[in-house]
Amino acid sequence: MELNTIIEGCKNNDRKCQEKLYKEYFATMMSMCMRYVQDKYKAAEIVNDGFLKVFKKIDQYEFRGSFEGWMRRIVFHSISDTIRKDANYLKFMVFEEHDKKYKNRILDNLYEEDLIKMIDDIPPASGDIFILYAIQGYAHKEIAEMKNISIGTSKWHLSEARKKLQNLVLENYKNSLNAG
């Protein structure tokens, strides 16, 4: 069955079309979610929540642009909702487990809203790569193709974005100590 037919069926609340769409995109959306939550059960919960939103909003899809991209944005909003509920996931996106030099008290004093705002303060090229990789779940190869850059350049931008975000977090922490 063609994708447009499946989408039209979903718009008409056809359960078989919804099932086909779910089966077609579950693995892709699960992979995107696993980049952030590192827990298969939590990721599946987010994917299911995302698909519920997709089915509720599918009337808004106007067959312009990539359907997968449209769906990724909706599922990403489910990831964001989860991140807002548990700020540790957002902090993990900036500080991986091997970043032990950053003490827990720094991260405990950081609000996820502050971190989201900090993404806007990094250079646009690096910020875009960070969002594509860490938030939207694209692989470096996909980003390289989209941005017409090398995979190495994509990795460099991600690394630079993480460094800049780490510095902004430390600066924010120092400012909060000086203010208090």
pTM: 0.53
Question: What's the pLDDT tens digit per position in 30-86?
Answer: 998 887 766 788 889 999 999 999 999 999 998 888 899 899 889 988 887 776 665
> Which tens digits make up the pLDDT trace of 99-132?
445 445 555 555 555 666 777 788 989 988 887 7
Amino acid residing at 73: R
Q: Residue 53 in contact with residue 74, Cβ under 8 Å?
A: yes
Question: One-letter amino acid identity for 148?
Answer: N
Q: Do 49 and 114 fall within a single domain? A: no
Cβ neighbours of 16 (radius 10 Å): 11
State the average pLDDT over residues 150-176: 86
Last residue of a domain, one of 22, 50, 85: 85
Same structural domain, 98 and 170: yes
SS3 content of the chain, % helix, strand, coil (to 5): 80, 0, 20
Instruction: Name every residue whose Cβ is closer than 8 Å to that of residue 79 and which is 6 or more positions away in sequence.
Output: 32, 33, 36, 37, 46, 50, 135
In this predicted model, what pLDDT tens digit does every residue of 160-169 receive, in sequence order? 998 898 888 7
Q: Which of 66, 85, 104 is the last residue of a domain?
A: 85
Q: Which amino acid would we find at residue 5?
A: T
Q: Are residues 174 and 97 in the same domain?
A: yes
Please enumerate in sequence order all residues whose Cβ is within 8 A of that of 142, keeping only pairs 6 or more positions apart, or say none: 132
Query: So what's the pLDDT on residue 84?
Result: 65
Q: Are residues 67 and 78 in the same domain?
A: yes
DSSP 3-state of 143: helix
CATH of the domain at 28: 1.10.1740.10
Q: Are residues 127 and 71 in the same domain?
A: no
User: What is the domain count for the chain?
Assistant: 2
Task: Select the more confidently predicted residue: 17 or 81.
Answer: 17
Mean pLDDT of the chain: 81
Asked if the model's pLDDT at residue 175 lies above 80, the reply is no
Residue 32: per-residue pLDDT? 86
Q: Give the pLDDT of residue 114.
A: 65
Q: Do 10 and 76 belong to one domain?
A: yes
Residues 46, 11 share a domain: yes
Please tell me whether residues 107 and 58 are part of one structural domain: no
Q: Are residues 99 and 110 in the same domain?
A: yes
Residues 6+ apart with CB under 8 A from 12: none
> Cβ(80)–Cβ(55) under 8 Å?
no
Of 142, 113, 116, 118, nearest to 129 (Cα)?
A: 142
pLDDT of residue 178: 73
Q: What is the domain range of residue 95? A: 88-179
